[in-house]
Amino acid sequence: MRILLISGIVFVHVPHDPATSPFLGLNGFFDWLRVFLGDSLFRIGVPCLSAISGYLLFQRGWEAFDYAKTLRSKARTVLVPFLIWNLGLFATVLVIQRAEIGIGYFPDLWNASPREAVSQAFATEGLPIDIPLYFLRDLIVCIILSPVLALLVRRFPGPTLAVLFVVAIIPDLTIGIVLKKSILFSFTLGIFLALNGVNLKGVDRFAALGTAVLLAAAVLLSVGLYQTGPDFPWALDLARNALSILGAGGFWLMSAIAIRSRIGQRLAATGSLSFWMFCSHFPLLVLMWMVWNRVAGDDLYPLFYGSAVVASFIILFVSNQLVSRTMPGLYEVLTGSRGRKAKLSAALKSHPPAGATRSGEPAITQQHR
């Protein structure tokens, strides 16, 4: 799920300028496809990732939840990578803008107020300079609030989820706590599913239907967005917000189909690559956009879009392999120790300890099951 969703998020962040906006319709079907991928289908990525995070946090139940231990763990796996990646880009932009490079591609840090600069560095009030990392910022907030959210969905599940859902989908309504409201609802929904022991694989038999409904809804939404954007009518904006949340169910069902294929199995084994892609894809895309604008014109934007996406996937995969093998210590820090977990999991599968089954579980557990 993570590698599929984060691969989709790459499409969301392919840069463009007003002259190459998809809503101008200068490239016909290609521009509609951009709207379908970036403004409709893959906007589901962040809410779906939030639900997964909330679910995993409480998958062992309320009694096994250790708040202090969770905060220590998430400081290493979420907070530290957020600070390193965002402050690293912040410092880089400061340096290149001093040389009058990158002006217009990133916020003008040298002319920003101290309050604006702090927000760009730490996402205190707005988006960080590495824009996709707002998800990690909001995830940290949700983790801090997790005991309260868990208590609310245990005692008042219906009203809690209903209120958070309505707040999440209403356009132009801000709550200040999180930068993207859908993250708070989806994270809480994940907690609810975990605490109630919902069998998430029980709906796999509806995978084909659910996938078809998701794609049909995304196509219909994209048609409306393409015809009315970039200033969407209130009702259409509401529908876009609703699909970004409800579509997570469709993506879950889609994954039930994808995992049966050989490609799906290989993607599921990519481990920390998804986190590496998530943290590093935005600066890479902007860098390619800066270079492109120096050597080509707006008329060739479809070529840039396609080549930037393909080149990003190749560069991110190669760089992930290179850094993880040559600088494993640095790689673990940058990925929040996810590289170490992936290696441990692979080692256990290849060489299970004595008395263990192929799945790594004690033989007696497998027998009694």
> What pLDDT does residue 96 have?
95
Lowest-pLDDT range, 73-77, 210-214, 339-343?
A: 339-343
In a domain, 46, yes or no: no
Residue 50 lies in a domain: no
237 within a domain of the structure (yes/no) = no
Report if residue 278 sits inside a domain.
yes
| In a domain? residue 291 | yes
How many domains does the structure of the chain reveal?
2
Q: Name the nearest CA neighbour of 283 among 150, 131, 84.
A: 131
Q: Bridge partners of 356?
A: 362
Task: Please give the Cα distance from 130 to 125 (Å, whole number).
Answer: 14
Could you give the residue ranges of the DSSP H alpha helices within 108-133? 114-122
Same domain, 192 and 287: no
User: Regarding predicted confidence, which is higher, 139 or 367?
Assistant: 139
178 shares a domain with 64 = yes
Which amino acid, 87? Answer: L
Q: Flag whether 299 is in a domain.
A: yes
What is the signed CA dihedral for 127, 73, 80, 308, rounded to 10 degrees?
Answer: -60
- Taking Cα atoms as reference points, which of 249, 184, 241, 180 lies closest to residue 211? 249
What pLDDT shows up at residue 339?
64
User: 20 lies in a domain?
Assistant: no
Enter the tokens of residue 212. Answer: 């078809």
Domain boundary among 135, 170, 198: 198
Tell me 196's DSSP state.
T
- What are the beta bridge partners of residue 103? 106
Domain termination residue (choose one: 198, 218, 252): 198
Distance between CA atoms of 115 and 109, rounded to whole angstroms?
11
* β strands within the chain, DSSP E: none
Boundaries of domain holding 323: 270-344
Q: Tokens 């951009």 belong to which residue?
A: 34
Shared domain for 193 and 276, answered yes or no, is no
Q: What is the pLDDT of residues 277-336, one digit of tens each?
A: 999 999 999 999 999 998 887 789 999 999 999 999 999 999 999 999 999 999 999 999
Kindly give, in sequence order, each residue whose CB lies less than 8 Å from that of residue 144, ignoring residues fewer than 6 positions away.
Answer: 71
| Cα–Cα distance, 129 to 137 (Å, whole number) | 12
Token pair listed for 163: 């209120």
Asked if pLDDT for residue 111 goes beyond 50, the answer is yes
Domain boundary, last residue among 165, 198, 231? 198
Q: Would you say residue 369 has pLDDT above 70?
A: no
Mean pLDDT, residues 31-55 taken together: 96
For residue 31, being part of any structural domain is answered with no
How big, in percent rounded to 5, are the helix, strand and coil portions of the chain? 75, 0, 25
| φ and ψ at residue 156, rounded to 5 degrees | -130, 65
